[in-house]
Amino acid sequence: MAHQSILVTYASRGGATIGVAQAIAKVLTMQGSRVTLLPMQQVPDLSNYQAVVAGSAIHKNNWLPEALAFVKDHQSALQTKPFAAFLTCLALAMTKQPEKTRTDVTQWLQPVRNLVQPRSEGLFAGVLDLSKISLGYRMLFRGAMLVRRWREGDYRNWPAIEAWAATLPSQLT
């Protein structure tokens, strides 16, 4: 649908999810959609949008609490609109078993699916930047980095993110 009005909204902790949301919004805009990009806490209602793309960072195998609260708060409206969901998750980059990890990570969207069924789901690796996480988690990650040979870095796959975003207009009509 040309000139479809789409909300791209996100919840993020360290900023990686914001970057993914921005990339999605850019692709949708280039394809002719009218896009509004907002953090979930700044979305008062969904009445001005024909479709919604919502994404969250993963913490403790779940969408962030404010992201799940957004879906609960807007559940009725989301059930009447085309909806897509995405997540950013460092686990997708830090694994020796990518297929098993992807299967596990897919389940982390189940609480969202229990409220609203997405027409499309995007699963994307995140960023490991120790300067953006709490001291307790930083210490935990340093230990994991030694054991599992993890490295700080940006693991987002921009071509995969853009390719997924490019499929959205046809799925959100």
Amino acid 21: pLDDT: 98
Compute CA 31 distance to the chain's CA centroid, rounded to the nearest angstrom.
20
The mean pLDDT value for 93-116 works out to 87
Structure tokens given for 28? 């949708």
Does pLDDT of 172 surpass 90?
yes
pLDDT in tens, 33-81: 999 999 999 999 999 999 999 999 998 889 999 999 999 999 999 999 9
CA 171 to chain centre: 17
95 contact partners, CB below 8 Å, separation of at least 6: 101
Buried residues in 15-47 as b, exposed as e (16+ CB within 10 A)? ebbbbbbebbbebbeebebebebebbeebeebe
- Degrees (nearest 5) of the Cα angle 161, 119, 21? 30
Q: Where are the domains of the chain?
A: 5-171
Q: What is the pLDDT, as a whole number, of residue 1?
A: 42
pLDDT digits (tens, 9 = 90+) for 106-136: 999 999 999 999 999 999 998 876 666 666 6
Rounded Cα distance between 140 and 100, Å, is 23
pLDDT, tens only, 135-167: 666 556 655 555 555 667 888 999 999 999 999
CATH of domain 5-171: 3.40.50.360
